[in-house]
Chain A
Amino acid sequence: MGDMDDIVRDFLVESNENLDQLDRDLVTLEKDPTAREVLSSIFRTIHTIKGTTGFLGFPRLESVAHVGENLLSQLRDGRLVLNAEITSGLLAMVDAVRKILSNIESTGQEGEGDYTSLIETLTGLQGGDKKASAPVATAPPSDLSPAPPVTGELSREPEKADPGLPLGEILVQAGWAKSEDVNEALKLQHQGDDRRLGEILVEKGATKPAAVQDALQVQAEARAPALSDSNIRVGVSLLDKLMNLVGELVLARNQILQFSSTQRDTSFLNTSQRLNLITTELQEGVMKTRMQPIGNIWSKFPRVVRDLATSCGKQVNIEMEGRETELDKTIIESIKDPLTHLVRNAVDHGIEIPEKRRASGKSPQGHLFLRAFHEGGQVNIEISDDGAGIDLERVKQKSLEKGLVAPDQASRLSDRELLNLLFLPGFSTAEKVTNVSGRGVGLDVVKTNIEKIGGTVDIQNRVGQGTTLKIKIPLTLAIIPALIVTSSGDRYAIPQVSLLELVRLQGEQARNGIEKIHGAAVYRLRGKLLPLVNLNHELRVEETGLERPMAENNAVNIVVLQADDRHFGLIVDEINDTEEIVVKPLGKQLKGVPTFAGATIMGDGQVALILDVLGLAQLANVVSQVRDRVVGEKAAATESRHDDRESLLLLGGPDDARMAMPLSLVARLEEFTRTAVEKAGGRHVVQYRGQILPLIHLSSAVTERPQESRSSGPPAPGVADEKIQVVVYTDQGRSVGLVVDRILDIAHEAVKIQKHSGRHGTLGTMVVQGRVTELLDLKGIIQTADPSFFNEAVAA
């Protein structure tokens, strides 16, 4: 019985894959009913399923597949032309097959479904052509040996024919040609007719070109090295286990590397170096095994779109780009539903009915475009339609009706703020409640689900021209960058996705910077009040208020975090470092603790908890505020993210000049003592995270003679233990440090260069925070100081 189970399981896996392909193929075929290869592929799929079910003994499934196959064979032979009715019939057949398969999968039985009406419909669709309405019974007697006992049914099964046979025999066995004809044609070939066998037969009218092609394909498949030799199926649980083991190996490696820094034994150092490289490669390799192309979930969409469009009386064409873009399996699974929802939304709400489209001068057929691509370690997915776009007036009305905003507020909302209202729970703009969408569970669920995996959603609206939804998600969840902080002597990891910035208050600022509103601590961050949450207090690890850290070490560390569009500051005792951490789940015993998302093992072997920022924010009541505040805050948050605004790092340059560079280019800000600066190859370098970081001095880079920047020393003579401020820029694993005089602030401004300053290394001047500021050309500066930097970075 065990063997049998294996066969059935393989059959199920294979059939399900084939069915997904089938959905796609049928929709393609509907657009181009003459696409022969597609039709043949559909035919073969159904045929294989039918053949196997007969063998495995699933009569119900076999009968459904059988009528489907008959209908398909007529289409293929050109006796019928595909129309919407037939496509729907065939899709219904695919659904029925899928249903029976899932029954078999769960119960081992076909289930009690009654498919007679479907079978009748399908038989009816074969319609006028009497010859083929019944299973083809006219099997020609075969003269060729070895002649299998050809029954009426088998006669249309090319695969049952031994693929190793010559073409003629395949044709005869499949019932596509008479053996007399084949024999005659073979004789002609012997007599010197140099045409191919198929050609002779077709010209004689003994068979159809389509049949020859199919037969050739059967032959080709048999001859081609089987795909199964280069691919094996591996259980996901095994991959997960491997992934876990690799995670552990990475940790062990980290521990060894930490240990090796105290060792002098060269052979040990070499070995640990090798271990390091191999582990990294292994990690990448194993990560790859879990990657799946996004096409796996997209493949369902043509069908979804077709069904939905038909039921709404719309015409929608779907186009996809980048279906090979890969994502971690767990992420693929968690974005499946949100994406399906968005696609349905686009068809249901976005694209108009053909009359309306014609009236507004568009082609009656709507266009849905899906695009996926990798960018900056993230995967971007865009879903655009060319429909009517979002009617902001209606959004406004709706949100007033539902009481999501106050009337006086509504009139002040910007377009962007209005769009963000769509993401609030309980919002739905559908005119009528359809069975598709408009039930109030809408974009807010999509947004929550995407954010759960560390992603973001953004809407772009072009009124009258369509809507684009942009989703950004991380590549993997298993290994994430995190900020390590210390609180009451314990380390905690904060996922970098929730991290906005770090603020350190010292001296006077620490004493007076934190104000209290009725006991709630706040800090004025660039003029806006930031609610403060003390980690020690929230975790109840130490019953102290805000006073203690201030009194003791005279500095307050604030980690500015984002939870559900609210910003808040988390006060921690110490900020340690950022690290890539391997996320491990917590045991069942700790599932009820909302503040932790998991745990990780640090380089020294100790366990550190990973903070769940949203859970923490809820615990501290940061996110369950009155709705209108959410809207206001949300608006502020999106305003700063608005396209033409950018976060700028403000620096003090030479001659007290104010300079700025885009914060997106800054990997880290570091502080080194002047004594840490060493010289190598005529350049200033520092040892930084086990690497050598070349330094470029801003003051010499922006002077007229850039070539001196290589050799000129730290420009201002300083005390030996004085600190230097370094902005670290990283490109493809290579880093370079820019030494600046002072780091001033971070500002959010629209980058509008007003005039070119002419100074070397700058792009021009602009006004930031009401003061003239020079915008640095960071890449240009690096290029000048080290012309090979970018080339090598690419090569590395």
Chain B
Amino acid sequence: MAGKKQFSTFVVDRLLFGVEVEKVQEVIRYQEMTRVPLAPSVVKGLINLRGQIVTAVDLRRRLGLRERAATDLPMNVVMRHEDGAVSLLVDEIGDVLEVEEDAFELPPGTLAGEARELIRGVYKLKGTLLIALDTDKMLNLEATAARVA
């Protein structure tokens, strides 16, 4: 058992990403959002999750990927976070996958940019790579906010 881990997976810009399943609170379809002017650009808006106000972070922007087409509605992966929930906006929701710890490798040195800090490593799966995200770093926008401002 020790060598296995469960990941909640999702697709962003045709890449398969995963976060530890226990950090995910729930997955919901697209929600109306209220934009937050002057906020860091990665904050796409605020959503009302059963009376709780949840910040939605656009994963494409966070990872420095291409902008999503305006007609594509993102899905929400709501993460448990130290001060309330935060939602990650993704393109598609994948399955919960069980991966072997043996299949893990650190990100290649050639991976550049902000994404490097946010990617914990890669799991080699059959026919595809699962990119494991560092959720804590991903939701800590303070460093990023400073850069944007």
- A contact set with B: CB distance below 8 Å: 244, 247-248, 251-252, 490, 539-541, 584-590, 592-596, 599, 601, 605-609
- B contact set with A: CB distance below 8 Å: 32-40, 43, 45-48, 50-55, 57, 81-84, 86, 139, 141-142, 145, 149
Whole-angstrom CA separation of A606 from B86 in the bound complex: 17
Chain B's interface: helix, strand, loop or mixed, by majority?
Answer: mixed
Contact B39 A599 (CB under 8 A): no
Contact B86 A605 (CB under 8 A): no
Q: Give the residue of A592, A595, A607 whose beta carbon is less than 8 angstroms from that of B53.
A: A607
Contact B36 A251 (CB under 8 A): no
Contact B53 A599 (CB under 8 A): yes
Q: Which residues of B contact A541 (CB under 8 A)?
A: 35, 37
Q: Which residues of B contact A599 (CB under 8 A)?
A: 34, 46, 53
Whole-angstrom CA separation of A252 from B51 in the bound complex: 8
Which residue of chain B lies nearest to A588 when distances are taken between CB atoms in the complex? B83
- List 24 A–B pairs whose Cβ atoms lie within 8 Å, in order of A's numbering: A251-B51, A490-B34, A490-B35, A540-B37, A541-B35, A541-B37, A586-B46, A587-B53, A587-B54, A587-B83, A588-B141, A589-B57, A589-B139, A590-B39, A592-B145, A592-B149, A593-B39, A595-B37, A595-B38, A599-B34, A599-B46, A599-B53, A607-B48, A609-B34
- Smallest distance from the beta carbon of A581 to chain B beta carbons, Å? 12
- Smallest distance from the beta carbon of A620 to chain B beta carbons, Å? 12
Whole-angstrom CA separation of A247 from B48 in the bound complex: 13
Q: Give the residue of A247, A539, A593, A608 whose beta carbon is less than 8 angstroms from that of B34.
A: A608
Whole-angstrom CA separation of A584 from B32 in the bound complex: 18
Whole-angstrom CA separation of A588 from B141 in the bound complex: 8
- Smallest distance from the beta carbon of B76 to chain A beta carbons, Å? 14
Q: Give the residue of B36, B50, B82 whose beta carbon is less than 8 angstroms from that of A590.
A: B36
Which residue of chain A lies nearest to B43 when distances are taken between CB atoms in the complex? A589
Q: Which residues of B contact A594 (CB under 8 A)?
A: 38
The winner among B32, B36, B54, B84 for most chain A CB atoms within 10 A is B36
Q: Which residues of B contact A609 (CB under 8 A)?
A: 34, 36, 46
Q: Which residues of A contact B139 (CB under 8 A)?
A: 589
Q: Which residues of A contact B33 (CB under 8 A)?
A: 607
Q: Which residues of B contact A596 (CB under 8 A)?
A: 36
Which residue of chain B lies nearest to A605 when distances are taken between CB atoms in the complex? B48
Whole-angstrom CA separation of A601 from B50 in the bound complex: 10
Contact B38 A248 (CB under 8 A): no
Which residue of chain A lies nearest to B45 when distances are taken between CB atoms in the complex? A607
Q: Which residues of A contact B82 (CB under 8 A)?
A: 588
Whole-angstrom CA separation of A596 from B46 in the bound complex: 13
- Smallest distance from the beta carbon of A204 to chain B beta carbons, Å? 70
Q: Give the residue of B32, B38, B47, B48 whose beta carbon is less than 8 angstroms from that of A539.
A: B38
- A584-B53, A601-B51 given as contacts; is B35 within 8 A of A589 (CB)? no
Q: Give the residue of B38, B55, B149 whose beta carbon is less than 8 angstroms from that of A586.
A: B55
- Smallest distance from the beta carbon of B137 to chain A beta carbons, Å? 13
Whole-angstrom CA separation of A585 from B145 in the bound complex: 19
Q: Which residues of B contact A248 (CB under 8 A)?
A: 50-52
Q: Which residues of B contact A590 (CB under 8 A)?
A: 36, 39, 43, 55
Contact B50 A593 (CB under 8 A): no
Whole-angstrom CA separation of A595 from B37 in the bound complex: 9
Whole-angstrom CA separation of A209 from B119 in the bound complex: 80
Whole-angstrom CA separation of A594 from B48 in the bound complex: 22
- Smallest distance from the beta carbon of B141 to chain A beta carbons, Å? 4
Which residue of chain B lies nearest to A601 when distances are taken between CB atoms in the complex? B48
8 new A-B contacts, CB < 8 A, other than A541-B35, A609-B36, are A247-B51, A251-B51, A589-B145, A593-B39, A596-B36, A599-B46, A607-B45, A609-B46
Q: Which residues of A contact B50 (CB under 8 A)?
A: 248
Contact B86 A587 (CB under 8 A): yes
The winner among A251, A541, A606 for most chain B CB atoms within 10 A is A606
Q: Which residues of B contact A586 (CB under 8 A)?
A: 46, 53, 55
Whole-angstrom CA separation of A247 from B81 in the bound complex: 22
Contact B38 A607 (CB under 8 A): no
Contact A607 B43 (CB under 8 A): no
Whole-angstrom CA separation of A541 from B39 in the bound complex: 11
- Smallest distance from the beta carbon of A591 to chain B beta carbons, Å? 8
Whole-angstrom CA separation of A150 from B99 in the bound complex: 70
Which residue of chain B lies nearest to A590 when distances are taken between CB atoms in the complex? B39
Whole-angstrom CA separation of A357 from B131 in the bound complex: 79
- Smallest distance from the beta carbon of A618 to chain B beta carbons, Å? 13
Q: Which residues of A contact B86 (CB under 8 A)?
A: 587, 589
Q: Which residues of A contact B34 (CB under 8 A)?
A: 490, 599, 606-609
Q: Which residues of B contact A490 (CB under 8 A)?
A: 34-35, 37
- A587-B83, A587-B84, A587-B86 given as contacts; is B53 within 8 A of A601 (CB)? yes
Q: Which residues of B contact A608 (CB under 8 A)?
A: 34
Which residue of chain B lies nearest to A252 when distances are taken between CB atoms in the complex? B51
Contact B38 A587 (CB under 8 A): no
Which residue of chain A lies nearest to B51 when distances are taken between CB atoms in the complex? A248
Contact B40 A589 (CB under 8 A): yes
Whole-angstrom CA separation of A78 from B113 in the bound complex: 81
Which residue of chain A lies nearest to B55 when distances are taken between CB atoms in the complex? A587
Q: Which residues of B contact A585 (CB under 8 A)?
A: 53
Q: Which residues of A contact B37 (CB under 8 A)?
A: 490, 539-541, 595
Which residue of chain B lies nearest to A541 when distances are taken between CB atoms in the complex? B37
Which residue of chain A lies nearest to B144 when distances are taken between CB atoms in the complex? A589
Whole-angstrom CA separation of A588 from B50 in the bound complex: 19
Whole-angstrom CA separation of A608 from B36 in the bound complex: 9
- Smallest distance from the beta carbon of A243 to chain B beta carbons, Å? 12
Contact B46 A607 (CB under 8 A): yes
Whole-angstrom CA separation of A588 from B83 in the bound complex: 7
Whole-angstrom CA separation of A157 from B48 in the bound complex: 60
- Smallest distance from the beta carbon of A252 to chain B beta carbons, Å? 7
Q: Which residues of A contact B141 (CB under 8 A)?
A: 588-589
Whole-angstrom CA separation of A587 from B50 in the bound complex: 16
Whole-angstrom CA separation of A522 from B38 in the bound complex: 24
Whole-angstrom CA separation of A607 from B57 in the bound complex: 16
Which residue of chain B lies nearest to A596 when distances are taken between CB atoms in the complex? B36
Whole-angstrom CA separation of A592 from B149 in the bound complex: 10
Whole-angstrom CA separation of A248 from B49 in the bound complex: 10
Whole-angstrom CA separation of A371 from B149 in the bound complex: 48
- Smallest distance from the beta carbon of B34 to chain A beta carbons, Å? 4
- Smallest distance from the beta carbon of B51 to chain A beta carbons, Å? 3
- Smallest distance from the beta carbon of A455 to chain B beta carbons, Å? 26
Q: Which residues of A contact B35 (CB under 8 A)?
A: 490, 541
- Smallest distance from the beta carbon of A484 to chain B beta carbons, Å? 13
The 8 closest A-B CB pairs, nearest first, are A248-B51, A539-B37, A587-B55, A607-B34, A607-B46, A589-B141, A599-B53, A584-B53
- A490-B34, A540-B37 given as contacts; is B142 within 8 A of A592 (CB)? yes
Which residue of chain B lies nearest to A542 when distances are taken between CB atoms in the complex? B37
Whole-angstrom CA separation of A715 from B33 in the bound complex: 49
Contact A606 B32 (CB under 8 A): yes
Whole-angstrom CA separation of A588 from B45 in the bound complex: 14
Contact A607 B39 (CB under 8 A): no
Whole-angstrom CA separation of A123 from B37 in the bound complex: 67
Q: Which residues of B contact A601 (CB under 8 A)?
A: 48, 51, 53
Whole-angstrom CA separation of A252 from B38 in the bound complex: 30
Which residue of chain A lies nearest to B54 when distances are taken between CB atoms in the complex? A587
Which residue of chain B lies nearest to A540 when distances are taken between CB atoms in the complex? B37
Which residue of chain A lies nearest to B42 when distances are taken between CB atoms in the complex? A589
Contact B47 A607 (CB under 8 A): yes
Contact B36 A606 (CB under 8 A): no
Which residue of chain A lies nearest to B145 when distances are taken between CB atoms in the complex? A592
Whole-angstrom CA separation of A587 from B44 in the bound complex: 13
Q: Which residues of A contact B51 (CB under 8 A)?
A: 244, 247-248, 251-252, 601
Q: Which residues of B contact A587 (CB under 8 A)?
A: 53-55, 81, 83-84, 86
- Smallest distance from the beta carbon of B118 to chain A beta carbons, Å? 14
- Smallest distance from the beta carbon of A543 to chain B beta carbons, Å? 12
- Smallest distance from the beta carbon of B1 to chain A beta carbons, Å? 30
